Structure 1
Amino acid sequence: MSKSEQAYLDLCKRVLEEGNNRDDRTKTGTLSVFGHQMRFNLADGFPLLTTKKVPFRLIVSELLWFIKGDTNIRYLLENNNHIWNEWAFEKWIESEDYKGPDMTDFGHRSLKDADFKEQYEEQMKLFTDKILTDNQFAEGFGDLGSVYGSQWRSWNTTKGETIDQLKEVITSIKENPYSRRHIVTAWNPEDVPTMALPPCHTMFQFYVSDGKLSCQLYQRSGDIFLGVPFNIASYSLLTCLIAKECNLAPGEFVHTIGDAHIYANHIDQVKTQLTRNPKALPALKLKDFDSIFDVNVEDIEIENYEPHPAIKAPIAV
């Protein structure tokens, strides 16, 4: 059994057994614990969960979207990635430009009302098609504000300048590997009000030892069933990419979560997942590159990934 995957399954069990019932922003309700840490040795295999299928290509395109400093969902849609659609769609339906049927509380209503779900899917299709084909519309409604890509690559300073945190931290790893300041933060209090979703993964730090690069993420809020599997794989991939550029081996990914929660409408899915036995972890294959900023989706592959079937669950918006 993979120790890496077991760390995630142990978190699921802990929250089911010890979690506090809490209201939340989405009005869905959660079981939650505060403060949890998992460790993943990247030498044991790439930590992409096997107890349910996790869509690796979506993780890749989302991470490259962050790395590019992009904040517009057009790039994601061009890569058939729809995981940020709801937040951009919400911006459109709340604008004066929207003339369609009432989409208020679409996240909950589409789960309970089949007729409304059909209307919602029609409006979402119209929205995504316009993002892909209409430059002005994409500029107005596809951008999510100062989310991860912006904070990583274009942090705004009080002097009206910007800081490329990701580029600077890579340079720092190369030039001063034992520094304790290899840090990138996405939590900018001034920009939080303008973000479609304030950063859940707020800060990460790199650590070099014995020729290996490790990364620790602090995540303020973790949707254990849908979000956390993505976060584990995404930051493990980021660590491997930066390690390759810096001529280091991947070390550990350490995942520290503040509010670790299972949504009320994900509990049955988590219980189903816990009945499954983990399989061998897959292997990550990276093509050669000089800079992570030049990496494309086709440069990243996963091998020997044979997971259990996917388990569907609604996203809380």
Structure 2
Amino acid sequence: MTGRLSPVSPSGPPRGRKDSRAAEPPKLAPVHTPYEDLLRLVMETGTPKADRTGTGTRSVFGHQMRFDLSEGFPLITTKKVHLKSIVYELLWFLRGESNVKWLQDRGVTIWDEWASPEGELGPVYGVQWRNWPTPSGEHIDQITQVIETLKTDPDSRRMIVSAWNVGEIPQMALAPCHAFFQFYVADGRLSCQLYQRSADLFLGVPFNIASYALLTHMVAAQTGLEVGEFIWTGGDCHIYDNHVDQVTEQLGREPYEYPELVLAPRDSIFDYEFEDIEIVGYRHHPAIKAPVAI
């Protein structure tokens, strides 16, 4: 069939007609700011409080942040976060360690301030996760137990790991700040909620968010599940008085989209090495230094 063609411009559709074939604008990755929103909330409404370290804080009590792990890995972008320390600390927890030497041998010093001259910290996180003592003298490996429950009874409401062992807190160099966490499965997706009783928002919480998001990915990989949400619930959410200038600087920065996590397959959650964990596309602002309150 032949017919008359409408005149067209060399680079566009027929005159007077909208080009339905125009390219859609590229879909941008979402930019999430729940952490920065919490910093802002505490700066604006926090109550001045004394604290154990004698530094002083501004604080709010009770707050929740939600991170959809399918939309990116929640590594804070408004300042550079030291990923090496986060990964090695989590691997150290999973080993059930109580001595900082394993961390020091890998160039990680974040626990040094609390360690004894011999490097001991007492029965801290990893010990409780992997070797919780029972009255009969036995020990419970909570990580192994929770992974087994996820495989055999994913609707259980008892998939909890606790570091808050009241009987052993006096022997710990530092009482657990991130005290316990719970897993939840729905529609083939694994979510994790952490309760953090004490939250150093500037220095500690960016580590905690990334650490438990990574742990959720690792547990999901071991149980054949997709990742769901990481939910962070904080008790005493505080900014130390000597971090106020740093927080103000951080809140003046524009957040970027979150990076992606690439996790190598491993037969056991205890087999992961640092090299098995890769963060892709981490775009961030420069690091901001601040003193640690001890």
- Give the TM-score normalised by the residue count of structure 1: 0.83
Rounded to whole Å, the distance in 2 between the matches of 1:193 and 1:288 is: 39
Q: 1:301 to 1:32 in 2, by over 3 A?
A: same
From 2, 5, 12, the equivalent of 2:39 is 12
Could you say which residue in structure 2 is the equivalent of 1:37? 64
Could you say which residue in structure 1 is the equivalent of 2:99? 72
Residue 81 of structure 1 pairs with residue 108 of structure 2: yes
From 154, 158, 165, the equivalent of 1:188 is 165
Tell me which protein shows more helix as a share of its residues. Answer: 1
The offset of 1:28, in angstroms, is: 0.4
Could you say which residue in structure 1 is the equivalent of 2:284? 307
- Give the TM-score normalised by the residue count of structure 2: 0.89
Bigger RCO of structures 1 and 2 (CA < 8 A, at least 6 apart): 1
Could you say which residue in structure 2 is the equivalent of 1:25? 52
Specify the code of the residue in structure 1 equivalent to 2:80: K
Specify the code of the residue in structure 2 equivalent to 1:10: D
Rounded to whole Å, the distance in 2 between the matches of 1:285 and 1:200 is: 28
Q: Deviations over 1:170-227 (max 9, x none)?
A: 0000111111111001001100000000000111000001111000000000000000
The 5 A counterparts of 1:275-294 are 275-294=252-271
Q: Contact (CA 8 Å) 2:31, 2:255: kept in 1 or not?
A: no
The 5 A counterparts of 1:207-222 are 207-222=184-199
Could you say which residue in structure 2 is the equivalent of 1:143? 120
Residue 256 of structure 1 pairs with residue 233 of structure 2: yes
Q: Contact (CA 8 Å) 1:2, 1:278: kept in 2 or not?
A: no
**Residue-pair matches, total:** 267
Could you say which residue in structure 2 is the equivalent of 1:168? 145
From 196, 206, 209, the equivalent of 1:229 is 206
The offset of 1:72, in angstroms, is: 0.8
Q: 1:18 to 1:2 in 2, by over 3 A?
A: farther
Q: Contact (CA 8 Å) 2:51, 2:57: kept in 1 or not?
A: yes
Structure label with greater radius of gyration? 2
Rounded to whole Å, the distance in 1 between the matches of 2:189 and 2:105 is: 35
Rounded to whole Å, the distance in 1 between the matches of 2:30 and 2:97 is: 35
Q: 1:77 to 1:23 in 2, by over 3 A?
A: same
The offset of 1:248, in angstroms, is: 0.6
The offset of 1:2, in angstroms, is: 7.3
Q: Contact (CA 8 Å) 1:40, 1:252: kept in 2 or not?
A: yes
Q: Contact (CA 8 Å) 1:4, 1:41: kept in 2 or not?
A: no
Unaligned 5+ residue runs, structure 2? 1-27
3-state DSSP class of the match of 1:191? helix
Rounded to whole Å, the distance in 2 between the matches of 1:143 and 1:299 is: 28
From 244, 254, 270, the equivalent of 1:267 is 244
The 5 A counterparts of 1:51-70 are 51-70=78-97
Specify the code of the residue in structure 2 equivalent to 1:229: P
Unaligned 5+ residue runs, structure 1? 93-140
Rounded to whole Å, the distance in 1 between the matches of 2:267 and 2:88 is: 19
Specify the code of the residue in structure 2 equivalent to 1:278: P
The offset of 1:57, in angstroms, is: 1.1
Cα RMSD of the aligned pairs, angstroms, is 1.1
The offset of 1:306, in angstroms, is: 1.5
Q: 1:243 to 1:48 in 2, by over 3 A?
A: same
Rounded to whole Å, the distance in 2 between the matches of 1:288 and 1:169 is: 19
Rounded to whole Å, the distance in 2 between the matches of 1:35 and 1:64 is: 29
